Amino acid sequence: MTAYIIRRMFTGIIMLIVMSMVTFLLFFSSPVNPEDFACGKNCSPALKAQTKKALGYDEPVTTQWVKFAKGVFVGRDFPDDPALKESAPETIAECPAPCLGYSRTTNSTVTEQIKEAWPISLSLAITAFFMWMIGGIVFGVIAALRRGSIIDRGIVGASLVFYAFPTFFIGLFLYKFLAIKWEIVKIPEYVPISEGGVSVWFQGLLLPAFTLSLVYMAGYVRMTRAFVLESMGEDYLRTAKSKGLAPRKVLYKHSMRAALTPLVTMAGLDLAGLMGGAIITEQVFNYPGLGKLAVTATRNFDLPLVVGIVLVLAAVVIVANLVVDLLYAVIDPRVRVG
């Protein structure tokens, strides 16, 4: 088991390195010049060259990557200008390890930016996760138990319809009517628990989390329903039933456990993906998590921020993959790690 974990972590690290190289190459060799964005208007070629140098884009991509990689471990200074550090040290932004770069549009280190946005995306992801898991499993089980009835059809149909409308349509629709017109829920806004307490925090993210959970719920309703039905047909359950166990007991003791395994896999990975920010939902609700940060960064051609976010998100997914694999092994002993 330990050997397996070490091996997986090792491949994970290799993957991150490869990924950082690919991302660097893609963005830093692009035909769009970030200095155009930074230089402003009325920018003479001399001024543009100066800006490019200040941004550090005058060096070859490989050098930039090496500097980046070094920064992750030992930190860096921005701008990397010894003369300036000598004459005006207060203007140098220090970026301590793990340094993922310095974002010029937000004027702070990428690490700092991600650290700030992360709890916001995490709040959203976890709240949405609970909403769709509870909703998905409850409705899925009800649908399975009432198989073929109006209730079953209603649940499955409704969840599919919600899934089928594009997220931004549902999000804007709910925003407009639930929050603004009818004032049923608060206008979405992130308030950290430390500032407003749990209740304010929750009210502020209710709508985006609900929107997000609607997107995912369909899959879970249908999956839960299918697995419950399937496992109810399996031999050991038939045995249990013929032994005279109450149907409810059969459901909880046996079906649920069997259905749980693949659900955990899917849930874990969905949650991991979401932790990196729900781009559309955050955009619609102006929710300042990683997704919104990512959109802003790409629109402003803030390359260090873009690269930083890509790498952090990738790392999350890689770790989540590992965790899910391990969980899988714990829940279902038939799966052997290896």
Partner 1 sequence: MTVPVTELESHVTAPPGEEPDDSGVQKVAGRSPTQLALARFRKDKLSMAAFCVVALYVATALVAPILVKTGVLDPLTLHQDLLDVNMGGIPKGSFGGISADHWLGVEPGTGRDVLSRLVYGITWSLFIALSATFVAMGIGTVLGIISGFSGGFTDSVIGRAIDLTLSFPSTMMLLALSGVAVAFMTGTLQVPAGDVANALYVILVLGFFGWPGIARIVRGQVLSIREREFVDAARLLGASRGRLYFKEILPNLWAPLLVYFTLMMPAFISAEAALSYLQVGVKPPTPTLGNILTDSINYSVADFVFFFTPAFLIMIIVVSFNLLGDGLRDALDPKTHR
Partner 2 sequence: MAINRKPIVAVAAAAVVSVSLAACGGGSTSGDGGGSSKEASKGGTLYYLTRTSAEHMDPQRMYVGRDLSNMNRLVYRGLTTFPITDDPDAKFSVVPDLATDTGTASDGGKTWEFTIRDDAKWEDGKPVTCEDFKYGISRTFATDVITGGPNYILSYLDVPVAPSGLPEYNGPYKGDHQEDYDKAVTCDGAKLTLHFRNAWPDFNYAAASLRSFDPYREDKDQGEKSNYQIFSNGPYKLEGKWDATQGGTFVRNDQYTESSDESDSRQANPDKIVYTQGLENEVIYDRIIADSGDDAYAITDRRVPPAYYTQVTGEVADRSSLVDSPYVSYLLPNFNQMKNLKVRQALYMATDVVASTTALGGDKAGTPAKSIVAPNIIGYAENPNFTAPPEGDPEAAKALLEDSGEKLPYPIKFTYAGGTPTLDKQAAALAEGWKKAGFKVTLDPLTDTYYTIIQKPSNDADVVWGGWGADWPSIATVIPPLFDSRINLTENSNGQDYGNYKSDTVNKMIDEAAQIADVDEQAAKYTEIDDQLGKDVAYIPLELTKFYFVRGSKVTNYINNPMTSGFPDLGAIGVEN
Q: Is 203 in the site for partner 2 (CB under 8 A)?
A: no
Helix (H, G, I), strand (E, B) or coil at 57: coil
Q: Is the separation of the CB atoms in 130 and 332 below 8 Å? A: no
Q: Is the separation of the CB atoms in 190 and 286 below 8 Å? A: no
40 binds, among partner 2, partner 1, none (CB under 5 to 8 A by kind): partner 2
44 binds, among partner 1, partner 2, none (CB under 5 to 8 A by kind): partner 2
For 274, the token pair is 């979401």
Which of residues 58 and 152 has its CB atom nearest to partner 2 in the complex? 58
- Any idea what DSSP says for residue 89? G
Q: Is 244 in the site for partner 2 (CB under 8 A)?
A: no
Residue where the block lists tokens 């007991």 = 249
One of 280, 287, 292, 308 touching partner 1 (CB under 8 A): 280
Q: CA of 125: how far to CAs of 206, 271, 286, in Å?
A: 11, 7, 15
Least distance to partner 2, CB of residue 286, Å: 5
| Planar angle of CA 141, 145, 146, nearest 5 degrees | 115
How would you class 191 by CB atoms within 10 Å of its CB: exposed for 0-12, middle for 13-18, buried for 19 or more?
A: middle
Q: Is 279 in the site for partner 1 (CB under 8 A)?
A: yes
**Stretch 129-168 residues interacting with partner 1 (CB under 8 A):** 147, 160-161, 163-168
Instruction: Point out which residues bind partner 1 (CB under 8 A).
Output: 11, 15, 18-19, 26-27, 30-32, 147, 160-161, 163-169, 172-173, 176, 212, 215-216, 218-219, 222-223, 226, 229-230, 233, 262, 265-266, 269-270, 272-274, 276, 278-281, 283, 291, 294-295, 297-298, 306, 309-310, 313-314, 317-318, 320-321, 324-325, 328, 335
